[in-house]
Amino acid sequence: MTGADACLASQLLPADVARIEASAGWRKERVEVLDVSVGRVIVKGHRPRRKPARHRALNAVARLVGVPILRAVPVHGGAASQAVEIRRLRALRAAGVRVPELLHVAPEYFVMRWLGGNHLASALSEGVPAAFDLWREAANAILDTHRRGQYLSQCFGRNVIVGTAADVAGFQGFIDFEDDPLEVMGLPEAQVRDWLIYLQSTLWQVPATPSQIDAVLDACLQGESESVRRLFALACRRLAWLRRLPAHRRWGRDTLAVRAVATLAHRWRQRHGA
């Protein structure tokens, strides 16, 4: 724990902390949802250094098409990852980005506000009626994050919490900040990487026509800085040929996901002459 972590005044009562420390849940499963004095919270423990398996597809594409910004960012694991996540959560919240409120930091875990039990990836795969609206809302939230001078890093559909009930509807916030792309790249690269990660993880399941999708993308990229637009155009140039990947489901979701982004990249080039 760093000095800065120790400075966080806990928002929890000593009884809440005692209950969390006695709980086996987060030690076993790494995350645990608990109802405590301040409401529903999530406890996140450390995880051992992880092989970047879940970034494999992105890494392969990055190598294949020479878009280095798609490369995975190092995840240090253990206490170092927790320190990164706490730093990023604080910076994002201070900038006004919707991320969970940090409630308590301890050497082996931290506690944050629970944002809800649904994420965008499941809303898309279940095909809920609001799926396209949720996708557009989250895209606008990414733009808003960038306009505040910030970046996300792991804005995969499963890290975008959404509400799909009548009482809790719409985008609720971004989660999961264990890596910091600014360790290995600049701000505009990290922001373009956010778009590519978001598109790669969601686009293939978005229930909308190409022109509806393009309208959202054009409006969002219009709001980005010149350097982000330039890097995005470059990525589109490098990715567009992958639209020729096979479209059949038996080729697996990674192929479908990359193909969907490549098809969008091709359309982008046609519209913008990039």
Ligand X SMILES: Nc1ncnc2c1ncn2[C@@H]1O[C@H](COP(=O)(O)OP(=O)(O)O)[C@@H](O)[C@H]1O
CA atoms within 13 A of residue 238's CA, in its CB half-sphere: 17
How many other C-beta atoms lie within 10 A of the C-beta of residue 138? 24
Q: Which of 5, 16, 137, 176 binds ligand X (CB under 6 A)?
A: 176
For 225, 233, 259, 263, the CA distances from 273, given in Å and listed in that order, are 18, 9, 20, 15
Judged by CB under 5 A, does residue 159 bind Mg ion?
yes
Report helix, strand and coil shares of the chain as percent, to nearest 5.
55, 15, 30
Q: Which of 4, 6, 18, 31 binds ligand X (CB under 6 A)?
A: 31
Judged by CB under 6 A, does residue 58 bind ligand X?
no
For 29, 97, 191, 200, 223, the CA distances from 143, given in Å and listed in that order, are 33, 11, 9, 16, 7
Size, binding site for ligand X by CB under 6 A: 13
**Subset of residues 73 to 112 that bind ligand X, contact rule: CB under 6 A:** 100, 112
Residue 75, binding choice from ligand X, Mg ion, none, Cβ under 5 to 8 Å by partner class: none
Query: Whole-number minimum distance, CB 89 to ligand X, in Å?
Result: 9
* Beta strand pairing call for 109-113 and 31-36: unpaired
Nearer to Mg ion, 65 or 99 (CB): 99
Judged by CB under 5 A, does residue 145 bind Mg ion?
no
What would the two tokens of residue 136 be? 């557009």
What would the two tokens of residue 6 be? 């120790």
Query: Whole-number minimum distance, CB 100 to ligand X, in Å?
Result: 4
Judged by CB under 6 A, does residue 159 bind ligand X?
yes
Nearer to ligand X, 21 or 29 (CB): 29
Q: What is the CA radius of gyration of the chain?
A: 19
Query: Whole-number minimum distance, CB 153 to ligand X, in Å?
Result: 11
Query: Whole-number minimum distance, CB 175 to Mg ion, in Å?
Result: 6
Edge-first strand listing for the sheet containing 109-113: 31-36, 39-45, 109-113, 102-106
Residue 115, binding choice from ligand X, Mg ion, none, Cβ under 5 to 8 Å by partner class: ligand X
Block residue for tokens 């645990």: 32
Query: Whole-number minimum distance, CB 30 to ligand X, in Å?
Result: 6
- Binding footprint of ligand X on the chain (CB under 6 A): 31, 42, 100, 112, 114-116, 158-159, 161, 175-176, 178
Interface with Mg ion by CB under 5 A: which residues? 159, 176
